Amino acid sequence: MDPLSTLVHTILSQNTTDITSDRAWKALRRKYRTMESLARADRDELAETIRMGGLADIKAGRIIQALNDIRELTGRLSLDFLRDMDEQEVDRWLSQLKGVGPKTRAIVLLFSLDKTAFPVDTHIFRVTKRLGLVSPSADREEAQEKMAELSKPVDYFSYHVNIIEHGRKVCSARRPKCYQCLLYDVCNWSEKKEHRE
């Protein structure tokens, strides 16, 4: 996926499941065939289109604002120019867009620009804290920095994907399956014994 589409898709994925964000993305792409038409969209109409993805009013505003800011800053609707920048330059450039936080920037870097970044979503944040890889008091940005330090850049993608999978299937928020966890013996989570059986 190109970086601009990745940015929009990631905004849609904030605070929701992959299933609902994918549905919202497909609905958005059916209604708005080009990024130009999306940038010119009526905010309320866009919100209705992506309603199934949750927080539709906020996300619609962020998407339209980001697209218009990109056009104002660059003269066009494309983020392909980011390919010629290093990771720090890309991160700095994207950080000027309202509603584009560290996780969104890292996703654009890793998934569409093939650059080094370690995005930390809800699952990674929970799992790494439970395992003791990240301090219990760390915020997401600190967790992202720590995981980037602990991992080799060549492994960022696989670690990101596998930790998310572990968080969904085993180390879930409500009913973790500690009895199935291969990392039980090295896990620092104080409540793990309550979920051992």
The CATH homologous superfamily for domain 3-112 is Hypothetical protein; domain 2 (1.10.340.30)
Task: Name the residue ranges covered by the structural domains of the chain.
Answer: 3-112, 122-195
Write the pLDDT tens digit of every residue in 128-159: 999 999 999 999 999 999 999 999 999 999 99
Entry field: residues in the chain: 197
Q: From CA 180, how far away is CA 142, in angstroms rounded?
A: 29
Write the pLDDT tens digit of every residue in 173-182: 999 999 999 9
* Mean pLDDT of all residues in 28-53: 97
The stretches of the chain forming alpha helices (DSSP H) are 3-13, 18-31, 35-39, 43-49, 56-74, 87-95, 102-107, 122-131, 140-150, 156-169
Nearest to 3 by CA among 94, 125, 124: 94
pLDDT of residue 92: 97
Q: From CA 61, how far away is CA 108, in angstroms rounded?
A: 19
CA atoms within 13 A on the CB side of 86: 1
pLDDT of residue 9: 97
Fold held by 122-195? Endonuclease Iii, domain 2 (1.10.1670)
Active site residues: 103
- On the 0-12 / 13-18 / 19+ scale of CB atoms within 10 A, 144 is buried
Write the pLDDT tens digit of every residue in 49-101: 999 999 999 999 999 999 999 999 999 999 999 999 999 999 999 999 998 99
The tokens describing 125, both together, are 């944040």
